């Protein structure tokens, strides 16, 4: 089971990140109920959402490569085991170097740079998995998301009436903006921790 990784997107705030696990089904169900109607609408384009058992199976059935989800944990947050945000990518098709990304930050923690923590963790995984481009759709009135993708040099287009943003998945291929530097800082921390976890797993295998 992957351990939590300490990260800091700037010099002030410390978070932990960890991959979503099978046993996080209830956490997701409870967290969804706490999201405001605005956040639900921004994320799912619907004000009411109920996840079926099948949806929960799918969401938590990640594989660290083609379907990746990272949770952000704020150790000072008392509810939801400290979980404050979830970001995921799903590879578009087998062997594709593109993946669709979605981010959800709990209402109380929005506007504090948590998006860069998620994108740093997702970027570290994407690099290891050979994913080069992230894309996602957003509502045109979603100012926070628009500013975020602009700060990362995303290309914006209209596809089938929806606003679609596309940017480099590799944090080191992003333009040299303050937002991208924060994403890179987290990606460095997560990448180093994942490499250390892989190397300790392989030395355990060699010993056994």
Please provide the distance, in angstroms rounded to a whole number, between the alpha carbons at the two ends of the chain. Answer: 18
Query: Quick one: 103 or 127, whose CB is closer to ligand COA?
Result: 103
105 binds ligand COA (CB under 6 A): yes
152 binds ligand COA (CB under 6 A): no
Binding mask 35-64 for ligand COA (x = CB under 6 A): ----x--xx---------------------
Query: Quick one: 128 or 139, whose CB is closer to ligand COA?
Result: 139
175 binds ligand COA (CB under 6 A): no
Out of 28, 99, 114, 154, the only residue in the binding site for ligand COA (CB under 6 A) is 114
Query: Quick one: 177 or 200, whose CB is closer to ligand COA?
Result: 177
73 binds ligand COA (CB under 6 A): no
Number of residues that bind ligand COA (CB under 6 A): 24
Integer CA distances (angstroms), 11 to 8, 80, 147, 154, 186, in order = 7, 25, 21, 25, 11
7 binds ligand COA (CB under 6 A): no
179 binds ligand COA (CB under 6 A): yes
Out of 8, 60, 142, 181, the only residue in the binding site for ligand COA (CB under 6 A) is 142
C-alpha torsion sign, points 85, 198, 99, 190: positive
CA neighbours closer than 13 Å in the CB half-sphere of residue 161: 0
99 binds ligand COA (CB under 6 A): no
Is residue 90 within 8 A of residue 65, CB to CB? The reply is no
Q: Which residues bind ligand COA (CB under 6 A)?
A: 39, 42-43, 102-105, 110-116, 136, 138, 142-145, 147-148, 151, 179
């Amino acid at each position: 089971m992957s351990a939590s990784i300490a990260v800091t997107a700037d010099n002030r705030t410390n978070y932990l990140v960890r991959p979503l696990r099978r046993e996080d089904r209830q956490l997701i169900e409870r967290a969804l109920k706490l999201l405001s109607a605005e956040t639900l609408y921004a994320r799912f384009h619907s004000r009411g959402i109920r996840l079926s058992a099948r949806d929960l199976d799918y969401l938590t059935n990640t594989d660290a490569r083609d379907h990746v989800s990272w949770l952000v944990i704020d150790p000072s947050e008392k509810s939801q085991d400290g979980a404050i945000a979830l970001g995921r990518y799903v590879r578009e098709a087998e062997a594709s170097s593109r993946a669709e990304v979605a981010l959800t930050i709990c209402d109380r923690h929005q506007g504090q740079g948590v998006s860069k923590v998620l994108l740093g963790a997702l970027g570290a995984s994407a690099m290891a998995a050979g994913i080069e481009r992230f894309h996602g759709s957003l509502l045109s009135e979603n100012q926070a998301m628009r500013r975020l993708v602009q700060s990362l040099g995303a290309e914006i287009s209209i596809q089938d009436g929806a606003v679609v943003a596309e940017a480099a998945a590799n944090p080191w291929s992003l333009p040299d903006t303050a937002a991208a530097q924060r994403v890179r800082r987290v990606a460095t921390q997560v990448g180093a921790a994942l490499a250390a976890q892989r190397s300790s797993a392989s030395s355990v295998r060699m010993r056994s």
